Amino acid sequence: MAQPQSLICKGCWQNMHVPIALRGPLSVPFRIAGLRPSRMNPNTCTLCELMFKRVMKATKITIDATILFADLRSYTELSQSMSAASMGGMLDVFYDECAGAIWDHDGLLNKTIGDAVMAVFNFPIRQADHARQALLAAHEIQRRVRARKAEAGLDFGVGIGIHCGELSFGEFGRSHRDLTAIGTVVNTAARLQGAAAPGEILATEAVRERVGELMQGSVGQPTSLKGFDSPIMLYRA
Amino acid sequence: MAQPQSLICKGCWQNMHVPIALRGPLSVPFRIAGLRPSRMNPNTCTLCELMFKRVMKATKITIDATILFADLRSYTELSQSMSAASMGGMLDVFYDECAGAIWDHDGLLNKTIGDAVMAVFNFPIRQADHARQALLAAHEIQRRVRARKAEAGLDFGVGIGIHCGELSFGEFGRSHRDLTAIGTVVNTAARLQGAAAPGEILATEAVRERVGELMQGSVGQPTSLKGFDSPIMLYRA
């Protein structure tokens, strides 16, 4: 069930206590000033996205956050036999369902690259239970994709990886500024996604500890991941 | 050597013969209307980037283009021992040097994701010799990164993959619209980047055929790539 769209930017409200109107007649002066709903999350504004430095008084901040990676499986294989138009249609469905699920849980759809999506939970909208919200979004993505798959007769599955902890969030690059998150937490989440089977959600110990009953009974499996010296405990969520 | 910055948007001029002023006093009315230099290429404008559908009269078009992927090697390994601040500084350098090299050759810095960069050549700025321009940009990236590495005493290398051919370019997703390229050409270029050693540029037969003397004498190596049924001929460029 989709959340109603917010009338003011939740990010600016939480971080600066400034009400930026996103919708309705009060939004007109903001739109003229170039402030619109962000494409990364329609309940935040382009100020959150484009003027991170001005808002946060730093180019990069260290935050505790949750990262979710989801990707369409068999995309490389399919791209060799399917037409670009069919592949495009499949991506549209995938991006839209991921966006809906992520935004329902106040996450930021930070990146889409080819067959993968990366989301950040806990910025710009703050959430005490960001790991839990990310996991709920992950289940929602799997549910939505299964429904669309059955409906459209399309054959695809989605693999999801989730990890949480301290990471660096902000603007990277000077000439090409880009708002994103980096650090081991991000790389680990990406590797988990790579290790997930179609339809599966893999999470770390750190996530399991924070989501309470949602992952009760899930048994860890020590798994070697590329680029990591020692095996990491992975949990099916 | 950096190109002088263009006074009008090269993309809008080539594709629509409309002069959108990017710099100087004539740019003021355009800025008020929300048209600014694009972050993907400062010689194109946000109209090219945000209103692809309005400009091209289609959400997606099939074009002949060249894709370049570059990534920072050992990033996952380094992220476990280096501080987030140092990693951020390294990424700033990497993104900036990639951006400079790509823009000097009229490419579009379409994506940055973690330790990787993806560029498209031949849109919105049209180039008859896009494969050649991409290859020149790749050499320029390697040259710049080597210089910065020596200067800063940082230890990193960059792997680059290039492929060209028909691909689907345009807006993907409806709720979260994203301007990007998809298709086998994109996936192949990404796999080539994965196969490249630090400091190396790998290109396909298709690229070699188009760049003339730049790759004369390069001998192909049949290589198996993940997701591809048969081995692909790779050339060191």
Domain membership of residue B5 (yes or no) is: no
A1 has pLDDT over 60:
no
Contacts of B177 in chain A (CB under 8 A): 39
Domain membership of residue B137 (yes or no) is: yes
Question: Half-sphere exposure (CA, 13 Å, Cβ side) for A175?
Answer: 19
Q: What CA–CA distance (Å, rounded) separates B158 from B196?
A: 9
What is the DSSP secondary structure assignment for residue A81, as one 8-state letter?
H
Comparing C-alpha atoms, which of B142, B151, B150 is closest to residue B71? B142
Domain membership of residue B50 (yes or no) is: yes
> What pLDDT, on the 0 to 100 scale, is given for residue A2?
59
Identify the residue whose tokens are 């009229």: B106
Q: Which ranges constitute the DSSP H helices of chain B?
A: 10-16, 28-32, 46-50, 52-56, 75-81, 84-104, 130-152, 184-195, 205-210
Average pLDDT rounded to a whole number, residues A34-57? 83
Residues A121, A68 contacting (CB under 8 angstroms): yes
Residue-level pLDDT, tens digit, chain B, 237 residues: 456 689 999 988 888 888 999 998 888 888 887 788 888 899 998 888 777 777 778 888 999 999 999 999 877 777 777 777 788 888 888 999 999 999 999 999 999 888 899 999 999 899 999 999 999 999 999 999 999 888 876 678 999 999 999 999 988 888 888 888 988 899 899 999 999 999 999 999 999 999 999 999 899 999 999 878 899 999 999
A122 has pLDDT over 90:
yes
A92 and B178: CB-CB below 8 Å? no
Domain membership of residue A4 (yes or no) is: no
Comparing C-alpha atoms, which of A116, A118, A115 is closest to residue A79? A115
pLDDT tens digit string along A207-235?
999 999 999 989 999 999 987 889 999 99
What angle, rounded to 10 degrees, do the helices at B84-104 and B130-152 form?
140
Domain membership of residue A2 (yes or no) is: no
Neighbours of B170 (CB within 10 A): 21
> What pLDDT, on the 0 to 100 scale, is given for residue A3?
65
**Phi-psi group of A97: left, alpha or beta (phi > 0 → left; psi -120 to 50 → alpha; rest → beta):** alpha
Average pLDDT rounded to a whole number, residues A160-180? 90
Specify whether A45 is located in the same domain as A65.
no
Domain membership of residue B4 (yes or no) is: no
B182 and A84: CB-CB below 8 Å? yes
Q: What CA–CA distance (Å, rounded) separates B185 from B203?
A: 12
Specify whether B38 is located in the same domain as B66.
no
Range of the domain at B220: 60-236
Specify whether A16 is located in the same domain as A84.
no
Specify whether B149 is located in the same domain as B41.
no
Q: What CA–CA distance (Å, rounded) separates B32 from B26?
A: 11
> How close A213 comes to chain B (CA, Å)?
30
| Final residue before a domain boundary, out of B24, B40, B56 | B56
Specify whether A35 is located in the same domain as A101.
no
Specify whether A136 is located in the same domain as A153.
yes
pLDDT tens digit string along A82-99?
777 788 888 888 999 999
**Cβ-count burial B67-93 (b if 16+ within 10 Å, e if not):** bbbbbbbebbebbeebebeebbbbbbb
Contacts of A175 in chain B (CB under 8 A): 42, 95-96, 99-100, 103
> What pLDDT, on the 0 to 100 scale, is given for residue A115?
85
Domain membership of residue A32 (yes or no) is: yes
Q: What CA–CA distance (Å, rounded) separates B21 from B5?
A: 12
What is the DSSP secondary structure assignment for residue B2, as one 8-state letter?
P
Specify whether B101 is located in the same domain as B119.
yes
B182 and A226: CB-CB below 8 Å? no
Specify whether A183 is located in the same domain as A199.
yes
ipTM over 0.90: no
User: Which of B32, B175, B191, B226 to probe by mutation at the A interface, max A CB count within 10 Å?
Assistant: B175
> How close B114 comes to chain A (CA, Å)?
6
Q: What CA–CA distance (Å, rounded) separates B139 from B199?
A: 10
Residues A195, A69 contacting (CB under 8 angstroms): no
A176 and B77: CB-CB below 8 Å? no
Residues B60, A88 contacting (CB under 8 angstroms): yes
pTM over 0.90: no
Token pair for residue B224? Answer: 């198996």
Specify whether B64 is located in the same domain as B93.
yes
A92 and B229: CB-CB below 8 Å? no
> What pLDDT, on the 0 to 100 scale, is given for residue A36?
86
Contacts of B84 in chain A (CB under 8 A): 60, 62, 166-168, 182-183
B109 and A176: CB-CB below 8 Å? yes
Q: What CA–CA distance (Å, rounded) separates A189 from A134?
A: 12
Which residue of B lies nearest to A226 if distances are taken between CA atoms?
Answer: B76
User: Which of A38, A178, A192 to probe by mutation at the B interface, max B CB count within 10 Å?
Assistant: A178
User: Which of B63, B93, B182 to probe by mutation at the A interface, max A CB count within 10 Å?
Assistant: B182
B184 and A118: CB-CB below 8 Å? no
Rg of chain B over Cα atoms, rounded to whole angstroms, equals 18
B91 and A186: CB-CB below 8 Å? no
Specify whether B102 is located in the same domain as B196.
yes
User: Which of A64, A94, A172, A186 to probe by mutation at the B interface, max B CB count within 10 Å?
Assistant: A172
Q: What CA–CA distance (Å, rounded) separates B184 from B200?
A: 22
Which residue of A lies nearest to B59 if distances are taken between CA atoms?
Answer: A88
Q: Is A84 helix (H, G, I), strand (E, B) or coil?
A: helix
CATH of the domain at A100: 3.30.70.1230
> What pLDDT, on the 0 to 100 scale, is given for residue A16?
83
Q: What CA–CA distance (Å, rounded) separates B94 from B72?
A: 8
> What pLDDT, on the 0 to 100 scale, is given for residue B2?
59
Residues A182, B84 contacting (CB under 8 angstroms): yes
Domain membership of residue B103 (yes or no) is: yes
In chain B, the number of structural domains is 2
Specify whether A198 is located in the same domain as A158.
yes
Specify whether B32 is located in the same domain as B92.
no
A87 and B183: CB-CB below 8 Å? yes
Of A119-123, A196-200, B46-50, the one with minimum mean pLDDT is B46-50
Q: What CA–CA distance (Å, rounded) separates A64 from A75?
A: 32
Q: Is A236 helix (H, G, I), strand (E, B) or coil?
A: strand
Q: What is the mean pLDDT of chain A?
A: 89
> What pLDDT, on the 0 to 100 scale, is given for residue A198?
94
